[in-house]
Amino acid sequence: MQTRKLGQGLEVSALSLGAMGYGKSRDIPDRKQMIGVLRSAVDAGMDFFDTAEVYGPWTNEEMVGEAFAGVRDEVKIATKFGWNIDQKTGEHLGGVNSKPTQIRSAVEGSLKRLGTDYIDLLYQHRVDPDVPMEDVAGTVKELIGEGKVRYFGLSEAGVRSIRRAHAVHPVAALQSEYSLWTRDPEREIIPTLEELGIGLVPFSPLGKGFLTGKIDGSTSFASNDFRAQIPRFTEENRQANQKLVELIRSVGDRIGATPAQVALAWLLAQKPWIVPLFGTRSVERFKENVGALAVELSDDDLRALRDGAEAIRIEGERYPEEVMRRSGL
């Protein structure tokens, strides 16, 4: 599999697999299947995987640790701290918490659950407005000095936070949403990352499944599917946003690629230090997505996608208002 370099020399597979959807509750009914997907990804040459203490909380990291037992030296694991998790009970208390004592406690818990003595990439999951970024970066710097963490990352951070963190300890990667239907990072974030030599790991590169072309106005979501709460996924907005899927499909039909592959290939073509992070519960879908690495978009293809996307108004916010407010987005 192709590799790419994020910041500070962190070299990883050109695509990353996120385990978030494999267990955000206390029960993972298809745990065995999900472990199979993770192990199949390693067999396919992927080495960059993403989890977080808040997924569950804790069950996701435990499953990832089990999946990679015996192949730890073949993979690079990214996990995150930053939500207000009771470190004794695992209860999500609501809001964020990046106090140095909380960071250290979260990291010790993650190391235990992952069955490892180091974390390859440690992200602050969300910026904590009550804790100076200098204190957060300083704590992670200490953990790196102790050998418990190798690289420092941020998630959904703004330019000011990125600069303040980077001044204390170099940031290797920023994880934020970026795709053909969420292009906000292009205004300020991407130029800043390029200036500072920080990599970008875009999550939801397929628009939470929408850009695959398998969701339309008639699609129904289960009551526990978070997309049912997202304004961008109301029936009316899904119908309106089909214009973007049609654009992506038109390019794919011309070059023999699926919409998902085109959407991922578009991201890969933006910068050499962008490593898209996708999630899937299926080996078949995994293989389809990895096929994006073989898709070559010409200058005309890229121009058609960019010009076409700029002419389409995307309807609906990417998160419910309460989530946007709570996360500081």
CA 175-261-186 angle, to 5 degrees, is 40
Q: Report residue 311 as tokens.
A: 């002419």
Instruction: Report DSSP state, residue 75.
Output: -
d(CA 87, CA 200): 29
Instruction: Report DSSP state, residue 182.
Output: B
d(CA 180, CA 241): 11
Find how far residue 71's CA is from the centre of its chain: 22
Q: Scanning the structure block, which residue is given the tokens 């072309």?
A: 213
Question: Which alpha helices (DSSP H) does the chain contain, by range?
Answer: 31-43, 59-67, 100-114, 133-145, 159-168, 189-196, 235-255, 259-270, 283-290, 299-310, 321-326
Closest CA to 270 of 318, 244, 305: 305
Q: Report residue 63 as tokens.
A: 């499953």
55 included as an active-site residue: yes
Q: Report residue 225 as tokens.
A: 């599917």
d(CA 77, CA 153): 12
Give the bridge partners for 48, in sequence order: 76
Let me know: does 262 contact 297? Beta carbons within 8 Å.
yes
Closest CA to 121 of 84, 155, 153: 153
Catalytic residue among 22, 55, 123, 319: 55
Give catalytic residues, as residue numbers: 55
